[in-house]
Structure formats: C-alpha cells, structure tokens
Amino acid sequence: MRVIDSHTEGEPTRVIVEGGPPLGDGPLADRRARFAEAFDRYRSFAVNEPRGTDALVGALLVPPQDPACAAGVIFFNNVGYLGMCGHGAIGVAVTLAHLGRIGPGTHRLETPVGVVQVELAAGNEVTIENVASFRHRAAVSVEVPGLGRVVGDVAWGGNWFFCVHETPVALAMANVPELTRQAEAVMAALRAQGITGRDGAPIDHIEFYGPPSRPGIDSRNFVLCPGGAYDRSPCGTGTSAKVACLAAAGKLAPGQPWVQESIVGSTFTARYRLAADGAVIPSITGRAFVTGEATLLRHPDDPFGDGMPPAR
C-alpha cells in the first residue's frame, strides 16, 4: 500500500494513493459502506499500530462519481469511518498538489456526505467550503457523573458534535488527560440519556470551548474524536459546527471571520455564507504540509499484519 502522510495544523492525515480495497463504483456513501463491511482490515492496516497511531486519520482516494470532482475521498480513523474530515480535506488537497494532480485554484472533492470545494493557495494554505452545517438542538442539558450538569449544542458540521458551552477545566496541554476523561464521560452520558443527532444519529465528537491564548483569536477548543484521540488541529468539521451554532444564535454574520484555536495552539479561520435556501455553508482556512511518502508492507506471518485494535 502506497501512502502519503501530511499534517494539517498539527493533525496527521494518511492518504492511500495505491493498494487500497477494490470498492467498485457508485455513490461514495455506498462505497464507504462496502469498505466497512468487506474490507475493514485495510482501514486497520493503514492507521492502527504498529504502522499508525490513534490520532491518525486515513483518506482513501477513489474515482469520483461526479466527473467535475478532482477526486473522491473516504475518511476513516482508528475505530471506523467519518462522513467528512475538515483537516483531512485540507491534507488531501495539499497531497494532490504534491502528486501533481491539482494546482493552485479551486477544485472539488467528493465525500460520502457531499461535495466539498477546496481552494489551493500559495504557502500550503487551503480553504475548504464544507457541506451545509446546522445547529440541531440548542442548550441541551446532560447530567454527567462526576461533572454534574453540562450544557451544550448538538450540531452537524459533516460529523455530529456536542459543543459544550464552557470547558470543565482549563484548555491547556497539561490538562489533556483530564479533558479526555471528562469528554469521554460526556459522551457516555449522551448515549445513556438518549441524546442524539437528527434521526437518532449518534453524536461521536465532543468539543469544549474556552478563551483563546493570545489576541486576534476568538476561541480555543478541545475536541475528542470517536476513537478516543484528541484533535491536534482546531477540527474542521467541529469548527463548521461551531460556526453553524453562532449563526443560529445571531452571534456571527455571514462573511465575518471566526478564528478557532486548537489545544496545541494552531488555528483555522472560519467564515460562512448563506445558501439560497438559507443553509449555513462554512469555509475553513488552514495549512497542511506533506511529511512523508511510504510503502506499507504486510508479511504473511506477522501476527499484527492487519493492525492492532485501539486500547478502548
């Protein structure tokens, strides 16, 4: 399997360019389902130990169904599959440029949840225009053992988020283990109390917010991803969900920039426009850098040839 690694504002992406599973054609949502049902070992092989880490997000390049798209892409992580991935889309754009498949300008990527527009600029900067995002429920209270009452918004930004209004502890790197524990507790409480996204969709990301570390930034966050790893970037789909919440609350005007800082100090700049039907269409700007190219190997006698399951 041939892969190209990159990071987007600190969060790693591994793009499979050769040797992926034979998924055939058809809608990307169907191909993602086929990937999960028949070829999940490819996912674990690519991103889990001993070849990867819990923080690594994979991106399988596939032929797009829409010929106007530069590529189709299916995102996955250490435990399963994602609808969209903002940092991953930025990483894919820079990887496609590294491969000589796209140049500066505007391009389209097809994902299982819709087409995403990417604008590749100089200096490894990419702006993605995400899928329509929205606040599903506002100011939802959940009782969390050990934390008490936690209030947040349920929102969609390409994945489902519970956007907690106030962080339970300071958003500092020293507190990552405690933030992780608390976010996992919130996730478990949401499931136990039947709080979901639209049509019963499980909420699989928890996002805490707090004050930024320096001037010129609007907010700092901590995002717990489905596999138990925290997002090193400010999280593209999470920032999209946040922008949708701010728009719904009348706190952010169309075109107004919102600078979101990650737990490691990197930033995304977000804006949104309103579609003809009133939908919020976020755009996220960040930088990605290619970090390596590799051929992943599988020895037939390797007891961990298909990767190790994460320890959770």
What is d(CA 154, CA 126) in angstroms, rounded to the nearest whole number?
Answer: 27
For tokens 């209030």, the residue is 151
Distance of CA 247 to the CA centre of its chain: 20
Residue 271: which residues within 8 A CB-CB, separation 6 or more? 243, 254, 255, 256, 257, 258, 282, 283
Are 175 and 183 contacting, i.e. CB atoms less than 8 angstroms apart? no
Give buried/exposed letters for 8-29 (b at 16+ CB in 10 A, else e).
Answer: bbbbbbbbbbeebbebeeeebe
Tokens of 130: 């995400």
Measured in residues, the chain has a length of 312
Tokens of 273: 């426009």
Q: Which of 69, 163, 235, 245 is catalytic?
A: 235
Q: Which of 69, 85, 163, 245 is catalytic?
A: 85
245 is catalytic: no
The DSSP secondary-structure symbol of 200 reads G
- Phi and psi angles of residue 6, each rounded to the nearest 5 degrees, phi first: -150, 170
Distance of CA 275 to the CA centre of its chain: 23
Number of helices followed by number of strands (H, E) in the chain: 5, 15
69 is catalytic: no
What is d(CA 193, CA 191) in angstroms, rounded to the nearest whole number?
Answer: 5
Q: Active-site positions? A: 85, 235
